[in-house]
Chains A and B, each alone.
Chain A
């Protein structure tokens, strides 16, 4: 059973790119649409890992992340946060707490900066889904 990966990013090009690359790597990848709501997307097709862009309009990546981690059914899904804007320091430890404004929210399993290096991404996904 190929692992299922859910991509959440506002840039359609990035979604297409990652989906194609992950498929080639043997994963089942899909991107979440702008208008889809998180619960709906997860309930219909529970992924094994989520790749989340933290800087997005409308629903910010942070609020989505908080939603993810506050629902027990979803909180176990490993999340890789990708970001083109924030330096890594802001996404881990106290930086992340400042970001979420809620110390009870655990930090993500991994953080990656854009532009993504595919091999590194694949390795991370392997480690987190095994």
Chain B
């Protein structure tokens, strides 16, 4: 249906007229009731004479009541009656009113007051139209609250970049700047910033961002992330821009601290002399420091894959570490470098996590080649020292031999001088004997100082002792010495130089038997050989109740070519034993009491036993 308007022809008007007639009737009869705003009519005595349903909806029943009663819940006229002004001046008024609705709730409404005049021009009635703005007010208040409470500084700028409005946060941070320029407040600048985001927003109507640095009212440096948005209801047309500035000073500071901490950590990892390796949950390598590259022989350009890493570390090590809540420590193990060579290392691995989160694993690898070398050098030095002590102690053995030779010479020459033939014979005898002793001495000493390469293989510790006891069984029987072996049942195999241990035990058992032979109660002499394991140490113990050793002898027992066996032996036996035991990482102890007997003990800590060479492939 065409709208009624000035462009209609008379014919059209006629056609539409019945509608207009209906319309006018409707306006006259139904509009009053249909309007959604409260309309009430009051007379000069403030009686409510007429009201529409919307009014009743708003303020409740009104018939026969005064306006001040219905609007304000009052018994008497309002002291500042705005309505009465219209009665006197005959002009329409608009007021913002506060009253009580039909539920007794505080209501805010806009009241339009329109005077109705009679033919004489006197105002007889007032038509009051009330629009409930309570909801609007509430929303407005909410918006105000939000504006002030939002945790960022907000300003509203006009096209000249003047601050038209600022929120509480802004005022607290930068002071009262309304009317000032945004660049003065945000950047402490004299003029517009070259990259001003507000300008850009004004230009293209789009959101823009920038980072600005300024000072707050206390003079502290503040870093801001600034966002500008156009403020307008209609698309493309706006006079103001809202600028939001979020304080990122803390964030930047934390970022900075993190960067520094990270840089320090990186430097430490890079500088560490131990290899440091880290993998993520999927075992991909995330850290492989220079020391690790060195150790594993990996060039700087080569990225270590997880397969390569698994191949280089001991078998199952990665799985073991992943499954263990605490760290896994291998003090003496081997890894393979990129070329497949084994490297002795100390290895520590542990899971990494943050609370429930698993972050992978980290390892520390310490190259033991240097330490191993030192250990070997130490062993060599000890042997050398033993030899050195030996050389010092050579004196005794040699002195006796020299005296023997001198004696022989004396006998010969005095025999020749005096003609005493028995002296000649004795002299020759002495010379022969002592020369033989010197030969033996030199040979044994050379053998000792050259040392024998120890050949290590796993073996049964008890069987060596058994062999030695069997060796001496006959001799002991002949001397009426009780020789026995007491060995623990289950001593696990150990890496030993079998020949060396055999020699050591032979020396000690031999000494024990000799001690018995020299003893005064030689017919009740006993030599007991014990083999047991205690505190992860294998122990060979030889006890005799023979002569025992006094202070002098005890002091000298290991240190030089001491022999208590008269003309026999060179005294190297115990020294050799000590050397062999040292090579096994062990030690010798002894206790002895003159007349009571001696106990010699060889202690071999399992952890220090030599490694058997890898079986030939």
Contact = CB atoms under 8 A, between A and B. Distances in A.
Nearest to B519: A58
A61 to B, nearest CB: 8
A54 B552 CA distance: 9
Interface in A88-114: 99, 101, 113-114
B566 A84 contact: no
Given A17-B403, A54-B552, A114-B400, A12 B565 contact: no
Given A20-B414, A57-B518, A13 B433 contact: yes
Given A13-B433, A62-B551, A62-B552, A57 B565 contact: yes
A114 B401 CA distance: 10
B415 to A, nearest CB: 9
A16 B594 contact: no
Contacts of B408: 13, 17
B550 interface: yes
Given A11-B566, A17-B406, A114 B426 contact: no
Nearest to A117: B406
A84 B561 CA distance: 11
B14 interface: no
Interface in A53-93: 54-55, 57-58, 60-63, 84-86
Q: Is the interface of B mostly helix, strand, loop or mixed?
A: helix
Given A17-B411, A21-B410, A101-B551, A115 B556 contact: no
Contacts of B395: 84-85
Given A17-B403, A85-B556, A85-B562, A63 B547 contact: no
Contact of A14 (B407, B414, B551): B407
A14 B518 contact: no
A84 B395 CA distance: 7
A13 B434 contact: yes
A17 B410 contact: yes
Contacts of B426: 16, 20
Q: How large is the interface on B (under 10, 10 to 19, 20 to 34, 35 or more residues)?
A: 20 to 34
Given A63-B594, A115-B406, A11 B400 contact: yes
Contacts of B396: 55, 84-85
Given A17-B403, A57-B547, A63-B594, A10 B552 contact: no
Interface string B542-563: 0000010011110010001010
B402 interface: yes
B407 A17 contact: yes
The 7 closest A-B pairs by CB, nearest first: A17-B407, A57-B564, A84-B399, A114-B399, A13-B404, A85-B396, A84-B396
Interface of A: 10-14, 16-18, 20-21, 24, 54-55, 57-58, 60-63, 84-86, 99, 101, 113-116, 118
30 contacts: A11-B400, A11-B403, A11-B567, A13-B407, A13-B408, A13-B434, A13-B567, A14-B407, A16-B411, A17-B406, A17-B411, A18-B407, A20-B423, A55-B552, A55-B553, A55-B556, A57-B518, A57-B547, A57-B566, A58-B518, A62-B552, A84-B396, A84-B403, A85-B556, A99-B551, A114-B399, A114-B402, A115-B402, A115-B403, A115-B406
